[in-house]
Copies of this chain bind each other. A is one copy, B any other.
Amino acid sequence: MIEEVAVALDVGGTGMKCALVGADGVVRHAERHPTDAGRGPAAVVETILSVAEGLAGKAYADGLTPTALGIVVPGVVDEARGVAVWSANVGFRDVPLRDLAAARLGLPTALGHDVRAGGLAEARLGAGRDTGHVLFVAIGTGIAAAHVVAGRAVTGAHGAAGELGHILVRPDGPVCGCGRPGCLEAVASASAVARRYAELTGTDTGTATTRRTGSASDDGSAAGPGRGRTMVTAAEVAARADAGEEVAAQVWRETVEALADGLATAQALFDVATIVLGGGLAQAGAGLFDPLRAALRDRLTFHREPRLVPAVLGDEAGCLGAALLALDQMETP
């Protein structure tokens, strides 16, 4: 019997994570390619399609049958129409990627959102397994989330649901890349942590912006693009806080408080059983999870407290989620 696999691509601003994935969720083959987003959207689309073709060919060569294609991208994705509506870091604007790919490969194709796909994978194959209501939160350069109910990620009316990075937590706080003051992302993302530490230690480079929206999972501990000087990363701030450095401890405390405010708001609205934290900042481990659990507990009054657990699929979550989207559509008549 010939085994069927999904062709899965997770397209980020810098690289693409690609795989052939069986119906059991097991990766049969994986490869990575640069995105080179600077070449413009048309070239990126061409690369996506040829990489997908190559993967399908690889499947046949290995005696596997590619039956479906799943592609996930950052930004605003209209999954129902299969359109990459807007993505700053890949340069997409209203790209009908699903139909382009389906026409090129002749396979049923699903287009999804990278963080929602990552959340789907964590909810079904990872840290949220066996719980029906999961919130996956990716904390990296930005902050984004996916609400997964009964094994399906909630997309919203226009493909823009889950923008946890852009909820108000500090009305008097710094201006976010989206233009509004006090967004969670402007206060508690990895880049916000690095920037705040630089401010307080007098090493600020003065280019305080966060990205507008989109993927948050792939470059968690970086201090953000376009900086002239290397800033202390969020991971290093966490380490220094753990070692007792006063300024680092203050920045970390403020970060934890803001994250707890954001998660408490999400819990009031979503009432999930499990919150899965991924992205670079979550790699701080107990240094993040212990104080964050306590701060979240402080904020929950009548609400039930969700489990707060680290993601387990790492940077493969988006690609696995793309495979799940591809496989799911085969089940839907």
Contacts and interface: CB of A to CB of B under 8 A. Distances in A.
Interface of A: 76, 86, 131-133, 145, 147, 149, 154-164, 166-171, 178-180, 212-213, 261, 264-266, 268-273, 299, 301-304, 306
B163 A268 contact: yes
A3 B164 CA distance: 48
A216 to B, nearest CB: 14
29 contacts: A76-B302, A131-B157, A145-B269, A154-B270, A156-B272, A157-B271, A157-B272, A157-B306, A158-B273, A158-B304, A159-B271, A160-B271, A161-B271, A164-B268, A166-B301, A167-B268, A167-B269, A168-B168, A168-B169, A168-B261, A168-B264, A168-B265, A169-B171, A178-B301, A212-B301, A212-B302, A266-B269, A269-B269, A269-B270
Contact of A149 (B154, B160, B178, B265): B154
A76 to B, nearest CB: 7
A194 to B, nearest CB: 23
Contact of A270 (B76, B156, B301, B306): B156
A114 to B, nearest CB: 16
Nearest to A260: B168
Contacts of A306: 157
Given A168-B264, A171-B170, A156 B271 contact: yes
A89 to B, nearest CB: 13
Contact of A265 (B131, B147, B159, B167): B167
A293 B269 CA distance: 21
Given A157-B133, A157-B304, A299 B269 contact: no
Contacts of A133: 156-157
B302 A178 contact: yes
